[in-house]
Structure 1
């Protein structure tokens, strides 16, 4: 609790806001989900950048929590998608699809992680500790 109080004090001193920081615990029987509109994605990658900044991860490794892929209109073949697209977006004849963690009920990544940097919380949310991740 001392850490949370210190962070609240820093927010007040630095930014003049009364932030309330808490450490809510899992609620038994409650599952979380999130959704996004595929039709709203323009391929700008701003969500990729924001996610990397929020989670303090590098943009250079091949592993990203969110990845935007470019597809030909009418195609949903991820094997034929392009992540390294460049240029102005949206491009004619292309659609963009954000691909992120699916928060599986029984996530295979938890078992596959050789350093146990990935685990599933009591509320079912799968998390990655970027300090442990190799």
Structure 2
């Protein structure tokens, strides 16, 4: 998994509108990249909405936001529209980005073992260097976890 001190991996992907987004678009300002398992699930919705509710504070602190999951562009669009999210969601159906960040891992739930996205938030500085990784993301306090470092 990506650690503090690591460079923002290069990627090109589609956002919820089907527009191309590149990692290089985020160089020059602080960026929060958060990974969530699946759009429109209760915990992922709580996290996305918490970040959206505190988007003005996050932007005031200088952050750009980017959410990534392995959902399709269509699912990301639905999620984005349904909750009126003010930041881009990336569709990583081929799991190229999640693999680069190291968040595609073995998980266990109710005795079942499977692979999926581990909910993780990465914070990058203006040069694209990871300054912090949040592993135990609290979906209803995700923005506060990010802002607590400032």
TM-score, length-normalised on structure 2? 0.23
Higher strand share: 2
TM-score, length-normalised on structure 1? 0.24
- Specify the structure having the higher radius of gyration (Cα): 1
Bigger RCO of structures 1 and 2 (CA < 8 A, at least 6 apart): 2
Higher helix share: 2
